[in-house]
Amino acid sequence: MSCLAANSEKDLKLLEPYQPRLTSSSKSQPSSATRERLRIDRRQFSSLCASGLACSALNFNSPVSNQNEASSTLETLRSQPNKDQQGQTRTPPSEFEFKYLLGSCMYGTTALSALLPEVTRAGATALDIWPKPHGNQREQLDELGEARFAEALKNNDLTLGCITQFQLGPFGLQAEMRLAQRFACSTIVTGGRGPKGLKGKDLKSAVAKFVEQMKPHLAIAEKTQVTIAIENHANSLIDSPDSLKWLAELSKDSHLAIAFAPYHLEQDPHKMADLIKVLGNKISVFYAWQHGMGCMKKLPKEQELLQMPGRGKLDFSPLVEALKHIKFNGWTEIFMHPVPRGIPIRDTTANVTSEINRARAYLEALK
């Protein structure tokens, strides 16, 4: 496959192997006017190559009747340089990179000694450690002791990036925050607390009350340099787009943030993308996780895996574009829940890692 950018005399020479197709009706060299029409910005064309549109549009397997047609093809590419397959405007190429976090529960109750080497194999630099019932690596930490766990992290060139603690809740994290501080762990994920199913003014008041209740806990978070990220979890105070917006607006404390879970939202990628832009830097964790066919009842494995990016119906392109737009630099965790909880998402440790890497390749292709 050849992706050609006619931007200089040197670049035009790259077209010579294809001259019989491009100039079947004439052996003359392209005029200066034609060369100008063929000129296409390198950055724009690189973006097209990445999406696969450029080469498909130039389709060298189908002869181009004449040079004017070739020029017209390139002019079409130039006129729409930043559109994805759905016609949405793409963010220009940037330095955006995902910062991957690996959830220990993806491996069920696999021993830390076997799990830690998989973190880098899965493209992550840090571990998100989960307790029962989803995994038991948080309990394993206590059994090993902090010194041995720290040594194991060091031997695998890893850090503890996150502790997930839904059972303790946002008001019971004092000891976990101090543990996190000892490991230079920057994030704890949990859920909100308060009444469920509210809307309008009642919802705003309840979120405001929750933010007020969090203040003494955020004081500890500041001392321990921890961010408490609240996941938008179903059947909780913080579960809807409006509740997330109120949380972002009413809390100005940088130590209270959002763990953004697409699974628990309407599966409309453009609405989610708009929400990401509104929430901006209040998002500290992005779960690469879609609803698929759900995670509450036992399904055949191929259906259960539809929660993973690139497998289910959700198009993550608008979400990734929104993350690029807000210059997101928080954690990205490729995620799903198996049924029952506490088992690996696939039958072997190697296959779990392979499945995560499959999803990671999908996300990387969207950048």
Residue 182 above 70 pLDDT? yes
Instruction: Give the residue from 193, 140, 198 showing the smallest Cα distance to 167.
Output: 193
CA dist list (Å): 56 to 4, 46, 87: 12, 14, 16
Note the pLDDT of residue 18.
Answer: 34
- Segments making up each domain of the chain, as ranges: 9-79, 99-365
Please check the confidence at residue 132 and state whether its pLDDT lies above 80. Answer: yes
Q: Answer left, alpha or beta for residue 165, where phi above 0 means left and psi between -120 and 50 means alpha.
A: beta
pLDDT-derived band at 5 (thresholds 50, 70, 90) equals very low
Give 10-22 pLDDT, tens digit per residue: 333 433 433 333 3
**Contact predicate 73/57, CB 8 Å:** yes
Contact status, residue 8 vs residue 41, Cβ threshold 8 Å: no
Would you call 114 helix, strand, or coil by DSSP?
helix
Cα of first residue to Cα of last residue in the chain, in angstroms, is 21
pLDDT at 266: 98
**Of the ranges 35-49, 104-118, 215-229, which one carries the lowest mean pLDDT score?**
35-49
251-302 per-position pLDDT tens digit: 999 999 999 999 999 999 999 999 999 999 999 999 999 999 999 999 999 9
pTM of the model: 0.76
Q: What is the pLDDT of residues 48-58, one digit of tens each?
A: 444 443 334 33
Contact 313, 289 (CB under 8 A): no
Q: What is the pLDDT of residues 161-172, one digit of tens each?
A: 999 999 999 999
Beta-bridge mates of residue 189: 164, 229
C-alpha dist (Å) from residue 209 to 212, 215, 238, 246, 364: 5, 10, 12, 11, 39
In this prediction, residue 3 carries a pLDDT of 39
pLDDT (0 to 100) of residue 31: 46
Q: How many Å apart are CA 289 and CA 293, to the nearest integer?
A: 12
The conformational region for residue 107 under phi > 0 = left, psi -120 to 50 = alpha, else beta, is alpha
Query: Percent helix, strand, coil in the chain (nearest 5)?
Result: 45, 10, 40
DSSP type of residue 281: G
234, 239, 317, 94 alpha-carbon torsion, rounded to 10°: -130
CATH classification code of 99-365: 3.20.20.150
